[in-house]
Every structure is written in C-alpha cells, then in structure tokens.
Amino acid sequence: MIRPFSLDQFRVAVPDSELIDLRRRIESTRWPEAETVDDWSQGVPLEYLREVADYWRSTYDWRRLEADLNALDQFVTDIDGQEIHFIHARSQHPDAMPIVITHGWPGSVLEFLHLIGPLTDPTRFGGDAADAFHVVCPSLPGFGFSSKPATTGTGTARIAEIWTTLMERLGYERWVAQGGDWGSAVTTEIGRLATTAGGSHSCAGIHLNMPIAAPTAEAMSDPSPADQAAFAAFTHYQEWEAGYSKQQSTRPQTLGYALTDSPVGQLAWILEKFQAWTDCDGHPENAITRDTILDIVTHYWLTASAASSGRLYWESFASFGPGARVDIPTGVAAFPREIIRAPRPWCEQAYEITHWTDMPRGGHFAALEQPELLVADLRECFRHLR
C-alpha cells in the first residue's frame, strides 16, 4: 500500500544576486602559478582555466539553461524525509515504456536534456512510435535541486529503494532503468532488488554504460587481450585518476569548504574530469561544448552541492560493484573511452546480459558525448521487453 504523498511542481528561479555574486567571486580569484609541464598531467592548465573562467564571468548565460529546464515538467516529492527533484517527460504515444535514468558525479540531470526529446517522441527524430518512453530523470540526493541528506545512510542501495517508490508514485507498474557512473551503481541495485523480489518488483530490465564487474578466473590465470586492456585501464585509473575519489570517499566535508567557497575551484575540480574521461583527443571541448560544461559546473555552484555530492562516495564507494548477481535482463553500451572497461565475460558473471553493444566512439559521459548512439541503444535494448 502506498502512503499519501504529494508531487509539487518545481521551477528553477535563481535570484540575480546569486549570479552577481558568482561573477564577483570569479573576478576576485586568487590564482596559483602555472604548471611546470606542457600537458594536463598536473591538472587543468592555468592558461586554459583562466580563459574558461573569464568566459564564465563575462559571457556564459545561466538564464538560457534555466529556461530550458523550466520548459520541462519538473517536480519535487518527499520520500521518507528526502526531497527528490526530478524531470518527468511523458510521451504522447500511449504504449510508451517508462524509464528512470540516473546520473552520476560530476554529472546531473542536465546530461539528459538531449535524450528526452528522442526518447519521448521518436517519430519526430526519425524513429518508430513503438520505441517511445516516458522519461523520469531524478536528481540524486545531495545533488542539484534534491535535498541534502542530513544523516548517514543514503547510499546507492537506499537510493534504489527511493527510485522504486518514486516510480510507484508516478503510477508505473512496469518500467526499466538506465545509468552510468553512480547511476550505474544505483541501477544495478535496482536490478538486485528486482532479482530478490523474484518477479514481483516493477523493474523489468536495466541498461548500463559503466557496468562494474570482477575479473573472471580465466582472466586472472590466462588473460585475453581484452582482459589485459581492462587491467591496464584499471591500473591507470588507480595511479592517475583516483585522487578525487579517495578524497571524496574519505573527507568530503573538508573538500567541500574549498569548492563551495571558490567557483574557480569548483570549475577546475569538474573540468579536469571532462578532459580525462571523455573521448576528446586531449581537449574537453572536442567532446562537450564549453557552455554545456559550464551548465553543469554552475548547477553545482548555485546549489552548493560540492560537499553533499561528494558524500555519496563516503557512503558507497567501498561497495561500488560487489554484490549479488543481477538476474533480470541487462543491456550494456560499452564505450571505448570509459574510465573502467569490464569485458563482457566479466559482466556476464555479474549480470544477466541480454544486450551488448561495443560503441565506435565515446567516453564516460555517454549522454553528453554521444546522445544519438545512446538513444539508439536504449531503443534496441528494451524492444524485446515491451
């Protein structure tokens, strides 16, 4: 039985004073000296960061994004004391399949703005009405316009339960789920809930663009070229890319003071990941536009969510991946520049793989980098579940 609840319409309305303060803070930044290398190996290069920061201060237009968001149906609802913000885009096609799509860090629901139209109205984008979806995009607790957890315990398993309640509140009796990064972890936990429920859970299948799985025994004893590449990618991540996760999974509060006070600090913390984790040939703007990068950074800044978003690592990073096997239909879109690339045999140990696509291009931020490829894969993956 579902308890009484409310769904309240939500509109973004950032006061002018906050945008004025942001520009003032950028202008008064105290800059360090330049790096001593000619690449990104010490972090974001000073010259480029100053260029982007100046554009942010003088040219970037938050109101454009605000208008785009407010053109969509947005809501907030309280689920066990946690206020959840979400976009709910219903399709005009009566047989549309409901899907909940979950972002990660340093992402947000903004990643999915270019997916919503093609998923809800495929006929307008060269697709078939039979592939239509009702799309639900929630903001993770502590991210964006969702409230910040005031106590411990809001990890990925708990969020999976919250998402299940959300879909029930929206009246969806059968639905599917998709995610990458933390969204992959939450979506995996939804799959585990459905597996444990033995058919009584309302999630019929999941799709991931960053599955996490342990190596097979064969990979450990006699690794194939794909296994070797996966081991090498993991080693590179541990040696060169994992500093942010160590800090956020151990001392997110300490980091939060710096990033919540300095917009350029927040910009650098996120911008580095758009360079390292995208299929960008060395420059982030080859993969994602400058305005899109600043949309996401500004979203973090205006919601002051540096500490609260980092706290999800403290809650769940140690358990990212391990757990019971997911025995409901699972699709994977394997992008070549993903941070950690688990080969299919590894994933088949962890999931009931019913669909797998080796993508020709793209990295960690699949919805931003390759929205058309991701949309096509979602349509194909879930076609047999309709």
pLDDT higher than 70, residue 173: yes
302 pLDDT band, cuts 50/70/90, is very high
Catalytic site residue 93?
no
Query: Residue 59 corresponds to which amino acid?
Result: T
In a domain, 244, yes or no: yes
Specify the CATH number for the domain of residue 96. 3.40.50.1820
pLDDT at 327 over 50: yes
Classify the C-alpha dihedral 193-313-270-306 as positive or negative. positive
**Percent of the chain, pLDDT > 90?**
95
Residue 68 annotated to the active site: no
pTM of the model: 0.97
Is residue 3 pLDDT above 70, yes or no? Answer: no
Average pLDDT over the chain, rounded to whole? 96
Considering 103, 313, 355, 377, which one is annotated as catalytic?
313
Contact 167, 102 (CB under 8 A): no
* The total number of structural domains that make up the chain: 1
Instruction: Report the distance separating Cα 304 and Cα 104, nearest Å.
Output: 16
Q: Is residue 3 part of a domain?
A: no
Q: How far apart are CA 101 and CA 99, in angstroms?
A: 6
Residue 203 φ then ψ, to 5°: -85, 125
Indicate the pLDDT class of residue 321, thresholds 50, 70 and 90.
confident
With beta carbons less than 8 A apart as the criterion, state whether 268 and 37 touch: no
Placement of tokens 């450990």 in the chain: 220
Q: What are phi and psi of 204, to 5 degrees?
A: -95, -15
Indicate if the pLDDT at residue 132 is higher than 50.
yes
Which residue is catalytic, options 93, 172, 364, 377? 364
Query: pLDDT band for position 199 (50/70/90)?
Result: confident
**Nearest one of 50, 152, 40, 135 to 90, comparing CA atoms:** 135
Per-residue confidence (pLDDT) for residue 164, from 0 to 100 = 98
Is 75 within the bounds of a domain? Answer: yes
Residue 1: pLDDT band with limits 50, 70, 90: very low
Q: pLDDT for 273-299, tens place per residue?
A: 999 999 999 999 999 999 999 999 999
The DSSP secondary structure of 212-243, one letter per residue, reads --PPPHHHHHS--HHHHHHHHHHHHIIIII-H
Please indicate, yes or no, if residue 73 is contained in any of the structural domains: yes
Catalytic pick from 85, 93, 134, 181?
A: 181
Backbone angles phi, psi at 310, to 5 degrees: -65, -25
- Contacts made by residues 282-291, CB under 8 angstroms, sequence distance 24+: 282/40, 287/363, 287/365, 287/368, 287/369, 288/365, 288/368, 288/369, 290/52, 290/55, 291/60, 291/61, 291/64
Is position 282 within any domain? yes
Where in the sequence is the domain holding 156, given as residue range(s)?
A: 8-385
- Is 1 contained in some domain? no
Kindly give, in sequence order, each residue whose CB lies less than 8 Å from that of residue 61, ignoring residues fewer than 6 positions away.
291
- Active-site residue flag, 60: no
Confidence of residue 63 (pLDDT cuts 50, 70, 90): very high
User: For residues 249 and 185, is the Cβ–Cβ distance under 8 A?
Assistant: no
For 103-128, write each residue's pLDDT tens digit: 999 999 999 999 999 999 999 999 99
Residue 370 placed within a domain: yes
Q: Which amino acid is at 31?
A: W
